[in-house]
Amino acid sequence: MQNILIGVAIGFTPMLVLLIIQLAKQSQKQKEHTEAINKLKGMLTDRMDLESDGLGKLKAEVEELKTQNENLRISLRTYSQKPGRREIARLQVFQQAADRLTINSPGFGAAWQAALKESESEFEKTFYGVQPFIKRIIPLKNSDANVVGQIDKD
């Protein structure tokens, strides 16, 4: 019986040594995996921080652009409502229409030039004589005074 116990002890000893070696290797692998997981978690945290910072900056930039857009829209509306802007836009539309009619209608050009010269002569008459003198003393509109002042400069 003693031989059997010696044989079992001799058989269990290498198995016990191999078991201890395997446990040590398993423990080392577990530590390596834990370190790799911690490293990956750190990288993921860093990336998420960078992305959240970038996203925050983008949101701030979008908000700034929205306010700039709103300010520009308000400025444009205010600019377009200033005195004389509508009249200038309307005059541009009339000029384009007259140009198109001159090109497309064969008899319109001569009639248009005659009507234009008549209108210009009537306009000049309003700046010589009693009527312009009264307008200079009592301006009816601010724009009329500006026109008179501009013509006097010329």
Looking at the whole model, is its pTM more than 0.75?
no
3-state SS of the chain? Answer: CHHHHHHHHHHHHHHHHHHHHHHHHHHHHHHHHHHHHHHHHHHHHHHHHHHHHHHHHHHHHHHHHHHHHHHHHHHHHHHHCCCCHHHHHHHHHHHHHHHHHHHHCCCHHHHHHHHHHHHHHHHHHCCCCHHHHHHHHCCCCHHHHHHHHHHHHC
pLDDT at 143 over 60: no
pLDDT, one tens digit per residue, over 55-93 is 999 999 999 999 999 999 888 888 777 767 677 777 878
